[in-house]
Structure 1
Amino acid sequence: MLALFTNHYTRRTLLCMSAAALLWSGSPAVHANAARYHTLPELKSGGPAAPDSKETAAAARKELFEQMSAATGIPWFRFAAIDQYERSVAKKKTKSDAAETGTAAAKPRVTGIIIPAPVWSGPLNPDQNDKLQDSISFFGGLGRDGSGDGKADPGNDADVLYSMASHLLKYGDSASDFNIAIWEYYHNGRAAQRVSQFAKLYEHFGRLDLSGSAFPLPIGTNYSYRSTWGTGRSWGGARIHEGTDLFAPHGLTVRSTCFGIVETKGWNRYGGWRIGIRDIENRYHYYAHLMGYEKTLKRGDIVAPGQTIGWVGSSGYGSPGTQGKFPPHLHYGIYRDRGITEWAFDPYPLLKQWENQEYRQLRKNKKK
């Protein structure tokens, strides 16, 4: 697909001109009609050759998102957000997925969006592997031909992205319209929230790679920690410790460990003054027992690794304002969302990894 445009600048110019023409045309309905005839070249075997690194894979996805954005007027970061949500809930391209979508498991894909066969072909379509757009439309299926090869193929990235674009354009082009369209697709409020959060992160940073990290306390300061995962708790009933306690002086800076968006902020009777941050991998980073927050930080704000979010304290185990029932420390937990449920996992290995990375970087900087 990308081979059609051998010159980088020519490709960019064509994309910009296409996008401008579509945007000048007006309403979402006009965008949808124009996009129907703006065909992207067919992706051979479902996509280009398997990328040899995460960087080239991300570049290929970004290019696809930008091309579909030029064709439909939908911002690239909305396609990226849907794609990342699908990846984060671990929809693996297994044989069962291939059977569900009617695609061959051996065909490489650039994007991670998988549209189930009943949604693609229509729930009452007798041919659940249907690739004819007219019959798919007759049975109310989502599948569309976005590559111009005459087939609506759920194994072709251009077709999948264009089909999703057609769904989104039914609802309008504002951020709230996008949220409604996502809810109507997944019928899951959690999914709609996650996709919206991811879109906001991608829009803010302007890139797909948001994989940076930082240790939650300043490296070189006075702190100590060990693995405390799964130990019993002495307050609040029968429960286990879902995190790692990092003991440190009262008032020591607490930092964001990731690129993310502030999802929760306020009092929790177990965690005291706590803050929760969602990253692009759909992980929820939980910081508890704080003395207080960075005063400008609020829910919905975007943070970066190493950014100050609060200070170590001893709040919690009671009503709002309860302090001093235990030594000052940061409780750090991490949870993964799988679409329906969210579960905690031991953060200790990640904390050691992040700490070692920062120490290595400090040593490297000193040698310069």
Structure 2
Amino acid sequence: MRILLCSLLLLAFISPTCFASSKTLSDEEIFQKRMELYKRVETVTNIPWYYMAAVDHYERSIRSVRNDLPKAKGITGIYFKPEQWSGLLNPDRKDVHPLSIQFFNGIGVDGNGDGKANINDDVDILFSFANHILNYGIDEDQFKIALWEYYKRDKTVGIIMEKARLYKHFGRLDLNHKTFPLPRGYNYTYHNTWGDSRGWGGRRIHEGTDIFAGYGVPVRSTSYGIVEMKGWNKFGGWRVGIRDINNTYHYFAHLNGFAKGLKIGQIVKPGTLIGSVGSTGYGPPGTSGKFPPHLHYGMYKDNGRTEWSFDPYPYLKQWERLDRIRASKK
């Protein structure tokens, strides 16, 4: 009864334009269509739009980096396996009939009132996940339980909750702006050092790019994100870790110190001061001066199973160029 009632209510708010292919829309139009979907689901279910946005974008981000998952084609990014959608014991993996799907305990529901539970329909997809959430509740603790029961991974729950915080704080979906970690006007130099060998503390590869600059040069957040880590590491010295909306972890190491008031859990945006260039590390807390001052900048991606380092150099070059273009337009 709840599924049917919610479906009929949702139908009253859905316009045909919600089903447009993402290939025919600009980025701005895609963000607008997604927000319309999230807000309309919120209207019907009372699930905050930023919860649905966080889940949807998390799924989109892992689908973009995993070969075992198909790439998202529509406006939404949530992926359901056919047997998950139709029900594990359902003999028809392409079943679109809500009653038979429900009989076989499938997750798929009719979200737009057209009589079909279509695994390729953006509204049906979003409402199917919303229906899973409603089985637990819509406050923060209940939402976390719903996420854990679905993903069975604490880190995934944490990442989605961080995304929700960012969307709620900024009130919009387009949080992809990036900037170079050092401000314009300071002298610095860098080249591609990702993958180089390192010997201190045992043989390992260099998981980042070193940006050489003088002591005290400001270090800024490159993205919208949340500070996940702050403190000392014997390799990285004083360091900060920030996870952005796209599930990328940005690592700033060898800092001379932290920005005043910077704390774990803090929301930052591109250009937020987080510390300054130093030469800390390679020893116990406070060790400094074992190498020239520089910022070690690393990037890591979580794919829903594990996290790995990738080369930040081409991104740094791109952000440096974009900063230069922005400055020329002022």
Which TM-score tier does this pair reach, normalised by the shorter chain? over 0.9
Q: Which moved more, 1:293-302 or 1:274-283?
A: 293-302
Kindly tell me: are residues 77 and 45 of structure 1, through their superposed partners in 2, closer, same or farther at Cα, counting changes over 3 Å?
closer
Q: Does 1:40 align with 2:49?
A: no
How many Å apart are 1:338 and its aligned residue? 1.4
Q: For residues 149-191 of structure 1, what are the alpha-carbon distances to aligned partners after superposition, in whole Å with 9 as ceiling and x for unaligned?
A: 1111111111111111111111111112111111111112222
Aligned pair 1:164/2:132, yes or no? no
Structure 1 length-normalised TM: 0.83
Give the corresponding residue for 2:39. Answer: 66
Distance 2:322 2:64 in 1: 30
Whether contact under 8 Å (1:312, 1:330) holds in the other structure is yes
Query: What stretches of structure 1 move > 4 A for 4+ residues in a row?
Result: 30-34, 41-46, 91-98
CA contact (8 A) 1:315 1:321 kept: yes
Q: State whether structure 2 residue 146 is matched by structure 1 residue 181.
A: yes
Q: Any unmatched runs of 5+ in structure 1?
A: 1-29, 99-104
Q: Residue type matched to 2:198 in 1? A: R
CA distance in 2, matches of 1:93, 1:234: 32
When the two structures are superposed, what TM-score results if normalisation uses the length of structure 2? 0.92
CA distance in 1, matches of 2:265, 2:2: 30
Equivalent residue letter for 2:113: G
Unaligned runs of 5+ in 2: none
1:49-88 to structure 2, matched below 5 A, reads 49=21, 50-88=23-61
Q: What is the Cα deviation at residue 97 of structure 1?
A: 4.6
Question: Which one of 303, 316, 322 corresponds to residue 268 of structure 2?
Answer: 303
| 1:113 corresponds to 2:113 | no
- Closer/same/farther in 2, CA of residues 291 and 91 from structure 1, 3 Å limit: closer
Taking only aligned residues, the RMSD between alpha carbons, in angstroms, comes to 2.5
Do residues 324 (structure 1) and 289 (structure 2) align? yes
TM-superposition CA deviations, 1:254-276 (whole Å, max 9, x none): 10000111111111111011111
- Which of the numbers 301, 305, 323 marks the counterpart of 1:358? 323
Count of residue pairs the alignment pairs up: 328
How far off is 1:348 after superposition? Answer: 1.3
Change over 3 Å in CA distance of 1:56–1:238 after alignment to 2: same
Q: Give 3-state SS (helix, strand or coil) of 2:197's partner.
A: coil
Give the C-alpha shift of residue 52 in structure 1: 2.7
Residue 35 (structure 1) shift: 2.1
Q: Which amino acid aligns with 1:47?
A: F
Aligned to 1:278: 243
Specify whether residues 250 and 97 from structure 1 end up closer, same or farther in structure 2 by C-alpha distance, changes over 3 A only: closer
Is 1:292 the equivalent of 2:257? yes
Matching residue's letter, 1:330: L
